[in-house]
Chain A
Amino acid sequence: MATPGPETVRTGGNTTCVEVTANGSRVILDAGTGLRPLGLELAKDGPQKINICLTHLHLDHIEGLGFFAPFYDPDCEVALWGPPSSVRTLKERVSRYLSAPLFPVEVAQMPARVTFLDAPDGPWEIDGLRLQAHPVSHPGTTFGYRIESDGVALAFIPDHEPALGLKLESLTSDWISGFPVADGATLLLHDSQYTEEEYPGRIGWGHSSISQTVTFAAKAGAEATLLFHHDPVHTDDDLDAHCERAQELWQGDGPPPELAREGMEITL
């Protein structure tokens, strides 16, 4: 959940939302509360078509949708991509949040033209950006996204427990959840919610310990890694220590992991 406040001023307290732009194209990854300020920025650009790719529908990854300014612009088009389900459409599943009693505005009432799309099986393109969605280990159907453009690749796996019941170190890459997303990525944004001490009490919760994140990133050969999806109870000081620990553990090629902070802008 979102954790704004004096203890998270340096790292930020919004939940997951990442904007990816390349050559004038844009894709938004996840729709946590960070989507709200992003929407206000985008609204300044006037009518446009916006693509949002959801890794999964846990509330911290979709709760920004109701407050996304372009939804309330009749000249905007928003395409929401997400994991498919054989039971309910993406629209039906998202509408469980965007409907009474949880939210006062229904999707049908939103002035923008909103379309709901299942992320396809193989690669697909959005405005020249090449995307791939792969299922990853996390409760409920969850994707990791890989976005490629001009020879660089961003890997986005914000909620992930690749080491569930397994020793990552001893697995070959074909057995590692999320490996195709992160393989040789220019930048990997990966779940690193727990300390090594916290993880044993949270096995199966769908998130990684810092050491598992480091191992995953090294095995995937990611050129750079950002530690992502901070635990709501962790303060800025906790997260700085978290990052120090990751850097201690790092033995892969390339620079050690850094901490993702709200407002970061990274050029690949």
Chain B
Amino acid sequence: MEQSVRQRRQKSLVLILAREFASNLATPIYIADADERLVYFNEPAEQIAGRSFAETGEIPIREWAEMLAPQATDGQPLQREQTPGGIAFAVRRPAHGSLCITGLDGKRREIATTAFPLFGPDEEFHGIMVIFWEQA
């Protein structure tokens, strides 16, 4: 186990602090790194995703997006690039929107999402943080 961990690239301090932040909050959050890999989601996010991060592990963000099957609120499928997370990653600016996802528990949910890029003091892009919550 430790051997494969050592092969993983060291997370930047920005991602480490982002994870620390997310892990202490009651608001669902996921974090992706600059290589577009899902590197963490917190416990509240597990409720919406329908699976724990320990079960999911680090996966390409596209795989995560496919799992959740995002749709516009009118039911039209959404490509990754059309989601706030995709916009934040591609354009490197914050984005907000509402969409529907189907959690890994099979339940369809309407969520609001704010995504923003993670730039460090070095102005280097380290990934994105996505905050989402279920709308009534």
A–B contact, 8 Å CB criterion (strictly below): yes
B17 — which chain A residues lie within 8 A by C-beta?
137, 164
Check if A174 sits within 8 Å of B13, measured CB to CB.
no
**In the complex, A179 Cα to B21 Cα: how many Å?**
19
From B2, B11, B21, B121, contact of A175 by CB (8 A):
B11
A136, A164, A174, most chain B CB atoms within 10 A: A174
Minimum CB–CB distance for B69 against chain A, Å: 29
- Interface stretch (choices A165-173, A189-197, A241-249, A254-262): A165-173
From B9, B24, B120, contact of A174 by CB (8 A):
B9
From A85, A141, A174, contact of B10 by CB (8 A):
A174
Check if B20 sits within 8 Å of A86, measured CB to CB.
no
Check if B121 sits within 8 Å of A86, measured CB to CB.
yes
Given A141-B121, A165-B24, A166-B23, answer yes or no on A177-B2 (Cβ-Cβ < 8 Å): no
Minimum CB–CB distance for B19 against chain A, Å: 7
Q: Which residue of the partner chain A has the closest CB to B1?
A: A172
From B12, B21, B121, contact of A85 by CB (8 A):
B121
Contact with A along B5-30 (1 / 0, CB 8 A): 11011111100110111011000000
**In the complex, A176 Cα to B19 Cα: how many Å?**
11
Q: Range of interface residues on chain B? A: 20 to 34
Check if A179 sits within 8 Å of B10, measured CB to CB.
yes
B122 proximal to A (CB < 8 A): yes
**In the complex, A136 Cα to B11 Cα: how many Å?**
11
A84 — which chain B residues lie within 8 A by C-beta?
121-122
Q: Which residue of the partner chain B has the closest CB to A174?
A: B8
B123 proximal to A (CB < 8 A): yes
From B6, B12, B20, contact of A166 by CB (8 A):
B20
A174 — which chain B residues lie within 8 A by C-beta?
5-6, 8-11
Main secondary structure of the interface of A (DSSP, over half): loop
Q: Which residue of the partner chain A has the closest CB to B4?
A: A172
A32 proximal to B (CB < 8 A): no
Check if B13 sits within 8 Å of A173, measured CB to CB.
no
Check if B20 sits within 8 Å of A165, measured CB to CB.
yes
**In the complex, A166 Cα to B21 Cα: how many Å?**
9
Check if B2 sits within 8 Å of A165, measured CB to CB.
no
A136 — which chain B residues lie within 8 A by C-beta?
13
A179 — which chain B residues lie within 8 A by C-beta?
10
Q: Which residue of the partner chain B has the closest CB to A179?
A: B10
Check if B16 sits within 8 Å of A137, measured CB to CB.
yes
Contact with B along A31-75 (1 / 0, CB 8 A): 000000000000000000000000000000000000000000000
B20 — which chain A residues lie within 8 A by C-beta?
164-166
**In the complex, A9 Cα to B8 Cα: how many Å?**
45
B122 — which chain A residues lie within 8 A by C-beta?
84, 86
Chain A residues 151 to 186 lying within 8 A of chain B, measured CB to CB, are 164-166, 172-177, 179-180
B120 — which chain A residues lie within 8 A by C-beta?
135
Contact with B along A124-142 (1 / 0, CB 8 A): 0000000000111100010
The 5 closest A-B pairs by CB, nearest first: A165-B20, A135-B13, A172-B5, A174-B8, A180-B10
Which B positions have Cβ atoms within 8 angstroms of A?
2, 5-6, 8-13, 16-17, 19-21, 23-24, 120-123
Which A positions have Cβ atoms within 8 angstroms of B?
84-86, 134-137, 141, 164-166, 172-177, 179-180
6 A-B Cβ contacts within 8 A? A84-B122, A135-B13, A136-B13, A137-B16, A174-B11, A179-B10
